[in-house]
Amino acid sequence: MKKFLVMLCVVCMVFSMGTVAFAGLEPNDTMDNATYIGKDNNLRMWGIVSSVDLEDWWYFYVNDSSPSSLTLAWIPEGQETFSADLYLYDEGGSLLVKAPFWSYNSRLIRDYYLRAGRKYYLRVEYTSGSLTHSPYGLIISPSL
């Protein structure tokens, strides 16, 4: 019985830490409060949007000017289909491109020429459904 209680405590701790970790990523609801992803030609980030957290803003730089792919993807869950959109903005807040539909669980901007030294913003906008098991992922990488 004691062993079980210890196990339960560990599980609770892991869950509460996970919640804190996600909560820490969530002040980024506006461009002014965008969260820094990094400065690299290969970047990864994750987050959550929902019906009560409608958008996430991120910013990043690339080291080398290069045609790049920018992907928003998520793991499909159950019957309630999650959906979201991805937008790329320049430093001044002008929309550069909205990611076209790529598949039911991803949006992809292909071959966009990202320039070194420029600040770019990504906005993930909630559309429908919910993510309960895992966050969405953002992937920035050079085009193949």
- In the complex with Ca ion, the residue whose CB is nearer, 29 or 77, is 29
Determine the Cα–Cα distance for residues 35 and 10; give it in Å rounded to an integer: 30
Alpha-carbon dihedral angle through residues 111, 120, 98, 93, given to the nearest 10 degrees: -150
x/- binding map, residues 106-125, to Ca ion, per CB under 5 A?
--------------------
- Nearer of residues 41 and 83 to Ca ion, judged by Cβ: 83
Amino acid at 96: L
- Interface size with Ca ion, residues (CB under 5 A): 4
Q: Which of 62, 54, 36, 58 is nearest to 115 (CA)?
A: 62
85 binds Ca ion (CB under 5 A): no
Q: Cβ closer to Ca ion: 40 or 53?
A: 53
Site for Ca ion in 14-53 (CB under 5 A): 26, 29, 53
Q: How far is the CB of 27 from Ca ion (least distance, A)?
A: 8
- The Cα–Cα gap between 138 and 13 comes to 27
The answer to whether residues 90 and 121 touch, using CB atoms and an 8 Å cutoff, is: yes
Q: Which residues bind Ca ion (CB under 5 A)?
A: 26, 29, 53, 56
